[in-house]
Each structure stands twice: as C-alpha cells, then as structure tokens.
Amino acid sequence: MIQPDRLVQTFLDLVRIDSPSNFEAEIGQHLQARLQALGLETEMDAVGNLVGRTPAGQGSGDWLLLSTHMDTVGTDRGIKPMIRDGVITSDGTTILGADDKSGVAAVLEVLTTLAEQDLPHPPLEVVITVGEELGLYGARNLDTSRLRSRHGIVLDSGGPIGHMVISAPSQDNIRLIVHGVSAHAGAEPEKGINAIRVAAEGIAAMPLGRIDAETTCNVGIIEGGTARNIVPDRVTVIGEARSRDNAKLEPLTARIVQAFQAAAGRNGARLEAIVARTYTTYRLDESEPIVQTLAGEARRLGHEVKLRGSGGGTDGNIYTAAGIPCIVISTGMAEVHTPHEHIAIADMVACTELLLAAVGRLAVTRNS
C-alpha cells in the first residue's frame, strides 16, 4: 500500500520549488537526488531532462517507461499550496502546478513503496522532462534511441481516474510574418503598406477555434509595429492547428496560410510563412498490453474506464512515435493552466494506487 500522507507531502514539497519552463535547474537537481536516494541510476541530458533507471524487483518483464514533466506552465513563482476539504489549491494568485507535479509525486511514491516493501516490478525507466509546456521541448530533444522501454505510462492528464488517453493530435506551429512598408503616418501614409492591417485581414479570414471533434486551430500571439506615427512594416502572428487526423490537419494549415497570403496579395505586402509539425498524432490499439493492463487494473480498483482521444499532445506523442506506445492517465489535476487549478487528495491517492497496481501487474514473476 502507498502512504497517502507521504504522497501529499511530496506533492507540497514539489510545488513549492519554482520551476516555470526554462527554469528547471533547481527542481531537476532535487528530483535527481530523490531518484538516487531511491536507488535509481540517473542521468541528466544537456537540456535538463532527467532519466532514472532501476532493474526489475522480484521478477522480470519488459522495461516500462514512467513519464512526467518537471516544468510548470507560464511564469508563476512562489506557489503557496493550501488544503481545504480534501482539495489542494494555490492561494488563488498563481497556478498550483499539479500539472505535472501530481504525476511526479505519484511516480516517487510508487518507487518508494516498491523499494520499502520489496514488491515485484518490471525494470523501470523514469523520464522527467523539461519544457513540456513549451511544446514538448524536452521530449523532442531527448535522445529516445537510448530509451530501453517497450511501452509506457504518461501521467499528465485530468479527468476521472479511469479515463485514459489512447489517441492524441498532431500539432502544426504556424508563424506568419507580414512584411509591409513603413512610412511617416502623417506626412506620407500612402507610401506605406500597413502590416497590421494585412495581419488583421488574414486573422479575420482564417478558420479559428473548433473545426470539428478532433480538429482545432488558434491565433495565440501577435507582435508588430514600432510607434504610433509610423506605418508598421512588420507583424508576426503565431498560431497553431491540431487534429487527430493528418488528412484534416494539412489542408487546415494550408487554409490559414492562404488567408494571410491573400491578404498580403490584396495589399501589396509580402508573407513569410514558417510551418513546423511539433508532434505527430497516434492512436493505440485497445489490445495493446499497456492499455489492457491499465484498463484492467482501473476496473479492478472500482473505476469506470473510458478510453478516449485528447485535444492535447503530451510527451507520449514523442515516445509513441519513437516506438514506445504510451497510454496517458489522469492524475486528478483539474482546471490546469489557471489560478483555479486544483487536485483532490482522494484522486491523487487513487491515481498512485492505480499506478502501483499496474506496475505490479506488468512484473513477470516465476509464478505468473
């Protein structure tokens, strides 16, 4: 059995260590020390991803990847966790950081329990990435050829325990730079081509928001202009498109670029479009052993199981693309990326018990 009080204490300790994306050095060192204290061999790569390995205990089995990320979204620091009525929140001025420190805490509690009770488990590969919130930066820069795992569990989702993600979208990063012509806004505006106007026409004409059940797009950032009295010659618009069907994503991305191209053409401006596929969609077969194991153990523990598609990518997209099929499970985190982020202690405990059960089930013992 796990120890709920210890689990909660670990979680509180972790969220009190500031770790917005790009500032993970302190939490990385803390986690490396904790993994080493639990007997894992660790390595940290050049970008700060932490990998810990421990051989099988009391049996054997295929290497199992346990995936979480150590960065928290945005720039919030000084998180002050509070517990009220069995729910952990921030003080309301910052995120909580349950995304993804609830996952990290669950993994640490499972490793602690396995070690102290000498329980059977397969060889475990614990990967804690940096920069997940920047578009899977850490996982994309991880040398996945060094991973030994046959399959994996990603702890980085919300919803009821028992709801699991077996399909995630592809994502295109779309950077559109409108090049206009600058001019004095009062003396000779007719000599200018207003890049902000061109960008506005492009944004107004492009598809936006939810396209269908598995397809979305967004404009997230717009930057441009230098002064009130200068016709702006340059605007950068950063957006994205996602779909769990690449056959839908490619034409959607093309339509977004075309909307800007047409606006540039009408106004005599020039468009520079940079499109990059950040990560690739996947769908696990329900017969995959990792899916069967998690679903089976969740049912046995009394959870209603639902295998679903997600609108968001995780590090699991990268590992699955690298040949390590990953299921994404809920840690109980809720309203993530907002100051209302919270997690119920009961859900945190249930997630950790599910993880412990699944790890035990994946151990091949002499009697099984």
How far does CA 81 lie from the centroid of its chain?
A: 22
- Give the whole-angstrom CA distance, residue 197 versus residue 135: 29
**DSSP-assigned states of every residue in 66-123:** EEEE--BSTT--S---EEETTEEE--SSS---HHHHHHHHHHHHHHHHHHHHT--B--
Is 100 or 347 the residue whose CB approaches Zn ion more closely?
A: 100
The size of the interface with Zn ion (CB under 5 A), counted in residues, is 3
Decide: is 24 part of the binding site for Zn ion (CB under 5 A): no
CB of 342 to Zn ion, least distance (A): 15
Q: What's the closest the beta carbon of residue 32 comes to Zn ion, in angstroms?
A: 20
Among 24, 71, 76, 100, binds Zn ion (CB under 5 A): 100
Q: How far is the CB of 217 from Zn ion (least distance, A)?
A: 21
Piece in contact with Zn ion (CB under 5 A), picked from 74-82, 96-104, 268-276, 343-351: 96-104
What is the Cα Rg of the chain in Å? 23
- Residue 162, CB half-sphere, CA atoms under 13 Å: how many? 13
- Report 148-187 residues binding Zn ion (CB under 5 A): 156
Binding mask 104-123 toward Zn ion (x if CB under 5 A, else -) reads --------------------
Sole binder of Zn ion in the list 24, 71, 99, 109 (CB under 5 A)? 99
Smallest gap from Cβ 94 to Zn ion, in A, equals 16
Calpha distance 288→324 (Å, rounded): 11
Instruction: Judge whether 143 counts as a catalytic residue.
Output: no
Q: How far is CA 213 from CA 242, 244, 311, in A?
A: 11, 9, 9
d(CA 204, CA 225): 19
Two tokens at 256? 């977004």
- Spot the catalytic one: 71, 99, 297, 315: 71
Least separation in angstroms between residue 334's CB and Zn ion is: 13
Kindly name the residue from 99, 132, 297, 315 that is annotated as catalytic.
132
Is 100 or 353 the residue whose CB approaches Zn ion more closely? 100
Q: How far is the CB of 155 from Zn ion (least distance, A)?
A: 9
Separation between Cα atoms, residue 354 and residue 300, nearest integer Å: 9
Contact segment (CB under 5 A) with Zn ion among 26-34, 99-107, 207-215, 217-225 equals 99-107
Least CB distance from residue 314 to Zn ion, whole Å?
7
Question: Whose Cβ is closer to Zn ion: residue 64's or residue 73's?
Answer: 73
Nearer to Zn ion, 156 or 214 (CB): 156
Which lies closer to Zn ion via its Cβ, residue 108 or residue 114? 108
The stretches of 187-245 forming alpha helices (DSSP H) are 195-205
Residues 6+ apart with CB under 8 A from 105: 7, 10, 11, 14, 348, 352
Segment 356-360 long-range contacts (CB within 8 Å, at least 24 positions apart): 356/2, 356/110, 356/113, 356/114, 356/119, 357/297, 357/300, 357/301, 358/153, 358/293, 358/294, 358/297, 359/64, 359/66, 359/110, 359/114, 359/121, 359/122, 359/124, 360/119, 360/120, 360/121
d(CA 28, CA 24): 6
Helix (H) or strand (E) segment spanning residue 165: strand 163-168
Helix (H, G, I), strand (E, B) or coil at 279: strand
Nearer to Zn ion, 49 or 54 (CB): 49
Closer by beta carbon to Zn ion, 128 or else 217: 128
71 is catalytic: yes
Q: What positions carry a catalytic annotation? A: 71, 132
Q: Which residues sit at the interface with Zn ion, rule CB under 5 A?
A: 99-100, 156
